[in-house]
Amino acid sequence: MPTKNNHVIHVLDSDQSIGEEFLQCLKQRNVPSKFSYWGDKETLHCLNICKDPEYINWPLEIGLLEKNLPEIVRLAGKPVGNLVSLGIGNGEKDRMILSAFLKDRRMNYYTLDISLPMVKAGFKTLEKAPVEKTAYVGDFMHLESLMPKIKEQTGKANIISFLGNTLGNFNQVNTLNLIRRSMDRKDFLLFAVQILESGKIIDIGEILGAYNTKAWHELSYGTIMRSGLKKSDGIMEVEFGKDKLYPQLNIIEFFFTLKKDKTVRHLGHEIDFRAGERIRTYYSYKYDEKNINFLLNNNGFKVVKSFFTPGQKYLLALAKLK
């Protein structure tokens, strides 16, 4: 449907279908991180985190983009004419990328995001960017079918932005394979992840401190409040450690632990929770340089160039297919 300022929004997944997936995850006591950004209240919580002074990742990544975008534009080359954003966020990072590329070429902008309110918030930030803007509201699984259409429409190569340590919020192997299948040899992937070299206890405390904040707790509570659970039904706990599935990786996890028995009704289904049960409401993988390079190499990518913050606490990297 056309909107003002050259915006077009296509809704691929209905709230009903997303809600049914949420229901199944809730029954399994494991709610994926993507649900933290789905909905009006959830979007507001996310936008608050972007500007939370206690959240160290945001300024680190903004600084990396400001310093290195001219080099990224040079390395990507002239064929790139589309920015495809996986997760629009508040739109600020995509605005920076577009501004850098627009200095010497025309660009088209596409975003794929599960949250319609988030898309609308991002489009407000991108309002004055002189590009055609198209949003697809739905799961990242749509990327593989969308990319050939984008290529056919524009005839240009793509740079896919996957920022904000978003890779760490998903099954990274499945996600990297999905992105790889969506790319061709002229396309690039621009991603950013938080770096934690093994054994740096000071850095572990810093990471925990960045997540164990009021803003992050509000976001994690919001993930499950739509089910009918209330804050008073349990406590939110933040944990850091080795992941069970990928023991070579560290992970931040949020768990809502029930203080009492509780039955909730959602989409016509009743779910019985027992005191002491835990629901995982959010997680974020943390990498070291060796692990991220291993992940990329084993899933069909090669790094064109890496950009680190001082102290190597955050990585921005440009990659392409091997």
Q: Average pLDDT, whole number, for the chain?
A: 91
Question: What is the arithmetic mean of pLDDT over 159-185?
Answer: 94
pLDDT value for 206: 81
* Range from 58-62, 206-210, 301-305 carrying the lowest mean pLDDT: 206-210
Per-residue pLDDT at 198: 56
pLDDT at position 177 is 96
Provide the residue ranges of all domains of the chain, joining segments of one domain with +: 2-12+54-197+288-321
Is 5's pLDDT higher than 60?
no
pLDDT at 79 over 60: yes
**Residues with Cβ within 8 Å of residue 10, at least 6 apart in sequence:** 1, 134, 135, 136, 137
Look at residue 4 in the predicted model and tell me its pLDDT. 43
Q: Does residue 316 have a pLDDT over 90?
A: yes
Q: Does domain 2-12+54-197+288-321 have CATH number 3.60.21.10?
A: no
Asked if 258 and 277 touch (Cβ cutoff 8 Å), the reply is yes
Percentage of residues in the chain having pLDDT higher than 90: 70
Q: Mean pLDDT across the stretch 150-173?
A: 94
Give the percent of the chain with pLDDT over 70: 97
Q: Helix 143-154 crosses helix 172-182 at what angle (to 10 degrees)?
A: 30
Whole-number Å distance between alpha carbons of 75 and 57? 25
250 in Cβ contact with 240 (< 8 Å): yes
Kindly report whether the global pTM for this prediction surpasses the value 0.85. yes
- Residue-wise pLDDT tens digits, 255-308: 999 999 999 998 889 999 999 999 999 999 988 888 999 999 999 999 999 999
Per-residue pLDDT tens for 183-201?
999 999 999 998 877 556 5
- Which tokens in the block code for residue 214? 């009021």
Q: How many CB atoms lie within 10 A of CB 135?
A: 25
pLDDT for residue 306: 96
Three-state DSSP class for residue 279: strand
Q: Quick one: pLDDT band at residue 202, thresholds 50, 70, 90?
A: low
Distance CA 112, CA 3 (A): 17
